[in-house]
Structure 1
Amino acid sequence: MAAALKIYIVTFFFVAIFLCESNGERCGTSSIQVQTINTGTTVSGGDLVFEVEVKNLCPCAVRNVRLDGGGFASTVDVDPAAFRTDDGNFYLVNSGEPIASMATVNFRYAWDHFFLMTPRSLEIDGQC
């Protein structure tokens, strides 16, 4: 009985740590994974095409996900529903609409190098 209780308590703490960031919120910017992949193709003018995948690792849906674009630029149009400027240096993902848990939003851009994009802010969508 005591061993089962210890296992339960340890499991509870691991789940609590997974669901909570250090600031006590269930999900934070570390719940957003941003991967940039060189597709190996180029556009006219020689710029490389990159595909960005923004994935929600939070167990809850999130909305108003904003990324720091690190000086982002593109020689091709980027789908504004997926990624658009929001405040000069910050970019809104998925038009601010909810991104379900474990779901991804993808977009492509072209430039002579990749841009490091980091999550800046998000909101948890409703109760979770």
Structure 2
Amino acid sequence: MASALKLPVLCFFFIVIFLQGTIAQPCEASSIKVQTFNTGTIVSGGDTVFEVEVTNVCPCAIKNVRLDGGGFATTIGVDPAVFRADDGGAYLVNSGQPIASMATVSFQYAWDHFFQLTPRSLEVDGQC
């Protein structure tokens, strides 16, 4: 009888451990959707204006969102409260402030080509 209970108890134990892992970290870097659009506008000097939308697709609010910029540069000003260089070659979005679930933070830059901006890290803002 005792050995008959071992398998169900063991299975229950592993299911609980698995669910705790997924509940504890509901949002990862893949929860950040980054899209870059060519606006069709050309600024003096011939650079194209691109618009970047950073969307939180996590069900939780997130903060301290950082993107990898791959040599990001611009010939027009970008509001540093929205997007700025941070330590370690990353770029901080929204001054690290919370971004609600399904909310978007956007900014524009101008260069002769677009830059591939990819999610690096985030923190869940409070409990989710």
- TM-score normalised per structure 1: 0.81
- Name the residue aligned to 1:40: 40
Residues matched between the structures, number: 109
The answer as to 2:87 corresponding to 1:87 is yes
Equivalent-residue separation in structure 2 for 1:92 and 1:70 (angstroms): 14
Q: Secondary structure at the match of 2:74?
A: coil
Q: Could you say which structure has the higher helix fraction?
A: 2
Deviation at 1:125, TM superposition (A): 0.1
- Name the residue aligned to 1:66: 66
- TM-score normalised per structure 2: 0.81
Alpha-carbon RMSD across the aligned residues, in angstroms, is 1.7
- Name the residue aligned to 1:117: 117
Q: Mark the structure with the bigger radius of gyration.
A: 2
**Where do 1:7-18 residues align within 5 Å?**
none
Equivalent-residue separation in structure 2 for 1:88 and 1:53 (angstroms): 22
Can you list the C-alpha shifts for 1:40-59, whole angstroms capped at 9, x where unaligned? 00110000000000000000
Stretches of 4+ moved more than 6 A in 1? none
Unaligned runs of 5+ in 2: 1-17
Deviation at 1:37, TM superposition (A): 0.2
- Name the residue aligned to 1:77: 77
Identity %: 72
Equivalent-residue separation in structure 2 for 1:90 and 1:75 (angstroms): 19
Unaligned runs of 5+ in 1: 1-15
What code does the residue aligned with 1:106 have?
Answer: S
Can you list the C-alpha shifts for 1:61-80, whole angstroms capped at 9, x where unaligned? 00000000011000011011
- Name the residue aligned to 2:3: none
Which region of structure 1 is more displaced relative to structure 2, 109-118 or 79-88?
79-88
Deviation at 1:88, TM superposition (A): 4.9
